A and B are shown apart, each in its own frame.
Chain A
Amino acid sequence: MLKSLNTRAALLSVGLLMLTLGVWEVSVQVPEKKEAMSEYEMLMGGADQEARVPPPSDIISLALEELGDPFYDAGPNDKGIGIQLGYSIYRVIAGFLAAAAIAIPIGFVVGMSPLMYKALNPFIQVLRPISPLAWMPLALFVIKDSEASAIFVIFICSIWPMLINTAFGVANVRMDWVNVARTHELSPMRTALTVILPAAAPTILTGMRISIGIAWLVIVAAEMLVGGTGIGYYVWNEWNNLDLASVIFSILMIGLVGMLLDLMLSAASRFVQYQE
């Protein structure tokens, strides 16, 4: 039954995809009769195919071509999609790991100590709603390096969900389990590692999952701002080249990579999951 449900769902997915692609393919065909050019079209150099959204077939052939050689490097404005995605993934992972290294220990302290919670809460509440991109000018000025600034922006946006989830998970560890640690005379460090960490791990992992999702959203915007390399810069560059097929292709790649990042963390969270 379950298997047949899965098969049916897969068939339906494929069907929907085909339908969407088909409608898209047909609806973007060049119409027979020429309409009068709008002002915009004249500005853009005439109403030819380039000004239309490309059909899926164009995108698929472009995708095959790009994915056939994803790592070519022909100068600053012409790099393979693999290289561009690699830059973005590297920045996301670097910023994310730096954030985890800081957010999880601080979250532990905040979750375990009501004093620290009260003391740090105002800072967290003020800093958290700031759009990560708002930090960009300050980061560029202070760090003076666009690469490091992009990583910093990822760092600052990943830190909050992990910090808050860690604090929440740690503060809400069942009192019974803490009492087990206490009656067994565990040191605070051992209690933290052998009782609180495993108990809070699923909540912490959820925070990490939210963080990496946000980081992947933010890196595209950040790279559009700082330019140079990365998938965000690539999208913006292709838009400037009016290569819409490439734009759509890279949008799809952004979605795919984002999904893979999320799958990785969801696999990790299954590893620490427990049932009460």
Chain B
Amino acid sequence: MSHAFLEIEGLSKRYLAANHGEGLTVFEHINFGIEKGEFVCVIGHSGCGKSTILNVLAGLDDASDGVVIMNGKEVAGPSLDRGVIFQNYSLLPWLSAMKNVAFGVQARWPTWSKDKLHEHSLKYLDLVGLKDAAHRKPSELSGGMRQRVSIARAFATQPQLLLMDEPFGALDALTRGVIQEELIKIWSESKQTVFMITHDVDEAILLSDRVLLMTNGPYARIAESVKISIPRPRNRNSIIHDPGYYKIRNHLVDFLVSRSKELSGAAGEEVRETTFVDPAIEDDDPLETDKALAKTGS
């Protein structure tokens, strides 16, 4: 048994029946690991339980079964070691951008002097290009700027694991592209371990080392772990010229379109292993999909 930095073992989430209806098993037998410094994205259809997994990792929600182990210790409850970036930014609207970042920094290092606090917070605001908007309240910032503040807040606290739930879901494509590039920049400097949920296949390819593919719920599971072998540094323009790009992209899209449904689990089923795939080094076999199916079907 390997010991990854973060290990998720046998995670499941069940909701009990509200009024003598049937209960709901959102997902079952979720097993995966994340290495230190790895950037992992999760893709799956709406409602399969991605946010639930993320909230369990954050310690904000409890799983029905299974454990999350980080650095050899079981995760119980929220902690500053696991920073969270929410889809709706979750900035405190009565604080300025600067104070929102400082809020996190002060929670992390309560003994720091005011000057040090200020300096550190400003450094991270500067990293996301918001030094000049430091004094503005969130309501005076655009959606993209708000998400940048929340990224600055999360990175400023230097958590061991960063959790992001569709951080760019509410942004327009242009803004998203810009912030993705900023995220790559900050991430490559800090080598933070990141677990991120996204709906956007291109975003996943651009950002991650590995993409976890979740089948549809209920009884959702992680069917595949797809390696993104495109070398870094990556950027949106050059990445599409990489020979592996379209193979990876087709593999992911194909999963979302057909396999996510075909591979979805059912009640009382035996545990099925996650398949590890690297689409870029596979040959251009048109039956690639079937092979993947055959592998998992055993």
Interface residues of A (CB under 8 A from B): 176-177, 179-180, 182-186, 194-195, 198-199, 272, 274-276
Interface residues of B (CB under 8 A from A): 58-60, 77-80, 82-84, 86, 88, 90, 92-94, 103-104, 107-108, 137, 139, 157
Instruction: Please tell me if the beta carbons of A275 and B139 are within 8 angstroms of each other in the complex.
Output: yes
Instruction: Please tell me if the beta carbons of B103 and A194 are within 8 angstroms of each other in the complex.
Output: yes
8 more CB-based (< 8 A) A-B contacts, given A183-B60, A275-B93, A275-B137: A182-B60, A183-B78, A183-B82, A184-B107, A185-B80, A198-B94, A274-B93, A274-B139
Closest to B82 in A: A183
Q: Which B residues are CB-close (under 8 A) to A186?
A: 107
Instruction: Please tell me if the beta carbons of B107 and A185 are within 8 angstroms of each other in the complex.
Output: yes
Instruction: Please tell me if the beta carbons of B93 and A179 are within 8 angstroms of each other in the complex.
Output: no
Instruction: Please tell me if the beta carbons of B90 and A176 are within 8 angstroms of each other in the complex.
Output: yes
Closest to A185 in B: B80
Instruction: Please tell me if the beta carbons of A180 and B90 are within 8 angstroms of each other in the complex.
Output: yes
B160 nearest CB across to chain A (Å): 13
Q: Which A residues are CB-close (under 8 A) to B59?
A: 182-183
Instruction: Please tell me if the beta carbons of A179 and B94 are within 8 angstroms of each other in the complex.
Output: no
Q: Which B residues are CB-close (under 8 A) to A183?
A: 58-60, 78-80, 82-84
Closest to B81 in A: A185
Q: State in angstroms the CA–CA spacing of A219 and B145 once bound together.
A: 51
Q: State in angstroms the CA–CA spacing of A198 and B78 once bound together.
A: 22
- The 10 A-B residue pairs whose C-beta atoms are closest, nearest first, are A184-B107, A275-B139, A274-B94, A176-B90, A182-B78, A183-B78, A274-B93, A198-B94, A183-B84, A276-B93
Q: State in angstroms the CA–CA spacing of A275 and B96 once bound together.
A: 12
A30 nearest CB across to chain B (Å): 62
A178 nearest CB across to chain B (Å): 10
The secondary-structure label for the interface of chain A is helix
- Pick the residue among A179, A185, A272 that contacts B90 (CB under 8 A): A179
Closest to B154 in A: A183
Q: Which A residues are CB-close (under 8 A) to B103?
A: 180, 184, 194
Q: Which A residues are CB-close (under 8 A) to B94?
A: 198-199, 272, 274
Q: Which B residues are CB-close (under 8 A) to A179?
A: 60, 78, 84, 86, 90
Closest to B150 in A: A180
> With contacts defined as CB atoms under 8 Å apart, how many contacts are there between chain A and chain B in the complex?
53
Q: Which A residues are CB-close (under 8 A) to B92?
A: 177, 180, 195, 198-199
Q: Which A residues are CB-close (under 8 A) to B83?
A: 183
Q: State in angstroms the CA–CA spacing of A184 and B94 once bound together.
A: 17
Q: State in angstroms the CA–CA spacing of A176 and B58 once bound together.
A: 13
Instruction: Please tell me if the beta carbons of A176 and B107 are within 8 angstroms of each other in the complex.
Output: no
Q: Which B residues are CB-close (under 8 A) to A194?
A: 103
Q: Can you give 26 A-B contacts (C-beta < 8 A)?
A: A176-B86, A176-B88, A176-B90, A179-B78, A179-B86, A180-B90, A180-B92, A180-B103, A182-B60, A182-B78, A183-B58, A183-B80, A183-B82, A183-B83, A183-B84, A184-B108, A186-B107, A198-B92, A198-B94, A272-B94, A274-B94, A274-B137, A274-B139, A275-B93, A275-B137, A276-B139
Q: State in angstroms the CA–CA spacing of A180 and B150 once bound together.
A: 11
Q: Which A residues are CB-close (under 8 A) to B77?
A: 182
Q: Which B residues are CB-close (under 8 A) to A276?
A: 93, 139
Q: State in angstroms the CA–CA spacing of A12 and B92 once bound together.
A: 43
Which of A176, A198, A199 has the most C-beta atoms of chain B within 10 angstroms of its own C-beta? Answer: A176
A185 nearest CB across to chain B (Å): 5
Q: State in angstroms the CA–CA spacing of A176 and B100 once bound together.
A: 14
Q: Which B residues are CB-close (under 8 A) to A274?
A: 93-94, 137, 139
Q: State in angstroms the CA–CA spacing of A179 and B89 once bound together.
A: 12
